[in-house]
Amino acid sequence: MRIGVWGGGALGLLWAARLAALYSETVLVTRTRKQADAVRSEGIRVIGLDGKARRMPVQAVESDRVTASFDVIMLMVKQRDFTSAFYQALSVCAQDGVIVCWQNGVGHDAVVKKTRHTQPVYGAVTTEGAWREDMTTVRHTGAGQTWIGPLLGKQEDHPALLRSLIAQVDHRWCPVVLEADIQPRIWKKLMINSVINPLTALLEVENGELFRLPDARALIRAALEEGVAVVRAMGYRWEADDVFHEVAEVCEKTATNRSSMYQDLMRGHMTEVDWINGGIVKEGKARGIQTPIHETLMRLVHAKEAINRR
C-alpha cells in the first residue's frame, strides 16, 4: 500500500514513522526540501512514552516534487495550509484512493464540498499528544485514541484499503476506530481544543498545568458553557459539565504536552485559532448566540501573534 503522510509536524512525523514500520512505501511529504533531505538522511526519531528513542527509516519528498500516486493520503497540514495542500493531494491520489484530513477545528469540510473529487474524503480526530523537537525528532507526549470517518455525511460502508490500514495500526500502535459519522467527534474535539489550546498558548504552560490554576479552571468552565450553547443549537445534546470533565481527562492524559497552538506561538507561526475558537464564534453568530469569551480568546491569541511578528 502506498501511503503519503502530508505534513512534517509532530503528528505527521509520528504517523509517518508508524506507517513506515507497517508499509515500506510510506512517504512523508514535507513543506521544505531541508526537512525532506534530513528525513531521507536520518530517518525519523520517535521518543516514546517510556522515554526510549527509536529511529525509523522513512522516505520523504518536498510537496512541490511529489509525483507518486498514493492509495491513502494522511493530510496532516495546518488549517491555514489546507486548501492548497488538499488540491495537491487530490492530484496525486489514486482514483480508488482515500484522503484522510487531520485538521484541528472546522472549515476544511467547506473546502472539500466545493472541490470536484471522486475519491472518498475522511476526517480524523485524535486525542494523542506529540511534540516535534526538531525536523526529524518527535516526542510522543500523550496516549489517546483516534477516530476516522467520512468527512461529508454519514456512511456505514468504508473502503477496504482504509479498513485494512486501520486494523494494522490499531493492532500495532494505538486504538483507531472507524465511525459512520465523524462530525460529532470533530465538534467535540473543537470544544476541547477551544479551551486547552488558547489558554496554554497565552499562559505558556503545558496541558497538565491548566487544572492546577483555579482561575484557568473557572475560565475553562465559562468558555465551555458558551460553546455548548452553540453546539446545542446545532442539535448536539451535550452538557457543559460533561465536556468539562472530558477536558480535565485530556489535560491529565497529555499533562506534559504543549498544545499545537502553544507550539505555533513558540515558533512565531500563525495559529489555527480562527478555525477553533473562530469556528464557535462564527457558528454562534449564525444562530444568534453571543460568544464573548471565545471572541476575547481569539483576539488575545491574534495579539500575541502580532507581538511575535515584530
Could you list the active site residues?
Answer: 189
| d(C-alpha 11, C-alpha 294), whole Å | 26
Question: Closest Cα partner for 231 from 295, 183, 173, 171?
Answer: 183
Alpha-carbon span 265 to 277, nearest angstrom: 16
Q: Residue 260: what are its φ and ψ, rounded to 5°?
A: -60, -35
Whole-angstrom distance, CA of residue 165 vs CA of residue 22: 9
Would you call 23 helix, strand, or coil by DSSP? coil
Contacts of 14 by beta carbon, 8 Å cutoff, 6+ apart: 46, 128, 130, 138, 140
What is 199-239 written as a DSSP string? Answer: HHHHHT--GGGGGG-HHHHHHHHHHHHHHHHHHHHTT----
User: Both ends of the chain: CA-CA distance in Å?
Assistant: 46
Q: Which helix (H) or strand (E) holds 39?
A: helix 33-42
Q: How far apart are CA 264 and CA 43, in angstroms?
A: 24
Helix/strand/coil for 55: strand
Cell numbers of 4, please? 503519503
Q: Which residues on adjacent β-strands are paired with residue 233?
A: none
> Do residues 60 and 27 touch, judged by C-beta distance below 8 A?
yes
Cα atoms in the 13 Å half-sphere on the side-chain side of 223: 28
